[in-house]
Amino acid sequence: MTATATRRRKTGSRTRCGRGGWMRILKGLGMALLVTIAGVAIFALLMQWLRPAEATVRIVNQVLKLGAICAGVYVCVGRGCEGGLLRGALVGLLYMAVGVGAYALLSGQSAPLSAYLADLSMGVAGGGIVGMILSNL
């Protein structure tokens, strides 16, 4: 195979990743939400036997959020696609916005604005970093 054919194949695979941008973002958001629902259900079952401390629950909550963002960004960006930083950050932002909104509606409580902004920032940063890494694989 010639160098031109190899270059054409690599370029072609990267351009295919760009099609259906909003649909890919929504699929990534859906995957992140599914991972969260499954993780929360499993952790709720484990909590009955383990009886973790409040600090442990907070840590598991943050790890679950980051894991869900990673799964969502992987579905959205894939390996080697262009625009991973922006798409990943957008998936993280939308995921955290849905989470913050659901928390506010379901709990009836409101956290300080700084807590909401910290969650949104973590989503943007985590999603952007994972998207950037996946783009460069």
Burial (CB count <10 Å: 0-12, 13-18, 19+), residue 63: exposed
**pLDDT attached to residue 15:** 47
Cα 9 to chain center, whole Å?
A: 29
CA distances from 133 to 5, 81, 126 (A): 26, 10, 11
| Helix H or strand E encompassing 13 | helix 3-17
Question: How confident is the model over 87-99, as a mean pLDDT?
Answer: 95
Domain assignment present for 3 = no
In a domain, 77, yes or no: yes
Q: Which long-range contacts (CB under 8 A, 24 or more apart) does 98-107 make?
A: 98/29, 98/33, 99/36, 99/65
Neighbour tally for 25: CB within 10 Å: 21
Contact assessment for residue 93 and residue 130, using Cβ atoms and an 8 Å cutoff: no
Identify whether 102 is part of a domain: yes
**How many domains are contained in the chain?**
1
pLDDT at 86: 93
* Domain residue limits at 30: 22-135
The answer to whether residue 79 is domain-embedded is yes
Which residues contact residue 4 at a Cβ distance below 8 angstroms, ignoring those fewer than 6 apart? none
Average pLDDT over residues 15-29: 79
Percent of the chain with pLDDT over 90: 55
* Residue 82 pLDDT: 85
Q: How far apart, in Å, are the Cα atoms of 60 and each of 16, 36, 66, 135?
A: 36, 11, 10, 27
Q: Does any domain span residue 97? A: yes
In a domain, 87, yes or no: yes
* Mean pLDDT on 43-63: 91
